[in-house]
Structure 1
């Protein structure tokens, strides 16, 4: 892959790196020269990502992002291995689709823990290692939080998910404001509908007669709502993450970047 951005000497931690956007982002950052810390709760997917990284510098962490203890342990291992952290990509997340009236509070709370609490804990955990990087001569550090266009527009049966992604947007702006003078940047990426396994917990969509709609039919209907005529792919999002991770984005913080094929234009 061509070197679009210069990340040599930087260390990046990508959560949810076992598949989808997380895996592609990790490989893209490595292609640009960064050493990678890849973490995921799924050991099989995580091992596959590590295998794809090959002999490029990397550290693999089994990681439940809702556990503050596991964040702390992960940071300690990064400190031992690399003694710094320049980039954090808070990518781990979950999306559960269900009609609002049939969504118990527990469904919101589960997505809150994974989608929001982990971002909060992760940013706090990363700061000491990022300050170490800057003490060692880095010009700055970058936190990239993955939200969603469903944190800014309505989506069918996404009330709980939308609430959490709206929270990620607000949290990112607030922390960016606080950290702006420190050299640590915080930005937010809002993907549109992307064909990954994020929605693995979706209930099958149903037609007016109550019968399940075949997945390929449902996906085709979703793609038809996108002006570009297709669902996004992980590789549509990863270069944006690499840009925000790089010094090319040194004057960008508290910003939101939508990548959705025009889904939210209208």
Structure 2
């Protein structure tokens, strides 16, 4: 399985190349950066710090389309959607870990999934996706008697808020409780807002320093509080999950999948 990494010169891109190098059954087929990058033509392995791999960095996916089977994309919503369409038109699979996509962009990924295999998940961590399963179970058992709050923290450079993972956690809990997150979500609180309503799901966001990613979901009622927590200390956890998803796609037909499918948690 030959994997291409777009954004290969970034922090996540370098980590993905390291993860591909460490994994069995896959290899780096291509590495892509912005056209203005000074790293075009440089060996991708040297940029990632894993030694020469014989894969020269290119500036356009069209320049390496023959060199990969699946693309891993942790870029921006607009670029990820464009890459999904390109992969669909050219018989390539794609794994997308980009966050911040709106409903229209998600619908476009579903369209791409009609022609090729797509894994799209706001968090590729195996641990996070197990946490989602636990959240669904907890919500079903605890029901409406428990207040639900989602607290997340990330590094100062993260541009979307709340995180895609936090939103997915909220969606999973809302679905288990028979609610629509769009109707019950409360994003931050300030001033004289009065007591919380029974069915709202609150979100609190922290942006500071170099925090890789921390998520905590509270289920609280009179007399007790249950917290389900996931803390990531390295981007490698996301990279390993993405590479695992890419390898899983080898045996899949066209469709839009998520990490719950990859991990057989559904």
TM-score of the superposition, structure 1-length normalised? Answer: 0.51
Higher Cα Rg, which structure: 2
Residue of structure 2 in register with 1:36 after alignment: 29
Distance 1:238 1:214, change over 3 A: closer
Residue 68 of structure 1 corresponds to: none
Q: Point out where structure 2 has 5 or more consecutive residues left out of the alignment.
A: 129-151, 162-188, 192-205, 218-226, 261-266
How many angstroms apart in 1 are the aligned matches of 2:252 and 2:86? 23
1:88 is displaced (CA, Å) by 1.1
Structure (1 or 2) with the greater helix fraction:
1
Given the alignment, which residue of 29, 34, 56 partners 1:59? Answer: 56
Q: Which of the residues 53, 64, 71 maps onto 1:78?
A: 64
Return closer, same or farther for 1:142/1:227 CA change in 2, 3 Å cut-off: same
Alignment correspondent of 1:256: 258
Instruction: Tell me if structure 1 keeps the 8 A contact 2:18–2:50.
Output: yes
> How big is the alpha-carbon RMSD for the aligned residues of Structure 1 and Structure 2?
4.3
Q: Which residue is 2:121 aligned to?
A: 189
**Whole-Å separation in 2 of the counterparts to 1:234 and 1:19:** 12
Higher percent of residues as strand: 2
TM-score, L = length of structure 2: 0.51
Unmatched segments (≥5 aa) in structure 1: 1-6, 63-70, 94-114, 132-140, 149-160, 259-266
Output the CA distance in 1 between the equivalents of 2:243 and 2:213.
31
User: What residue number does 1:102 align with?
Assistant: none
Q: Offset of 1:56 from its aligned partner? A: 1.6
* Cα shift at 1:16: 2.0
Distance 1:121 1:247 in 2: 22
**Residue-pair matches, total:** 178
* Structure 2 equivalent of residue 142 of structure 1: 93
Distance in 1 between residues matched to 2:240 and 2:72, nearest whole Å:
13
| Secondary structure of 1:239's aligned partner | helix
SS of the residue corresponding to residue 259 of structure 2 reads strand
| Corresponding residue number in structure 2 for 1:111 | none
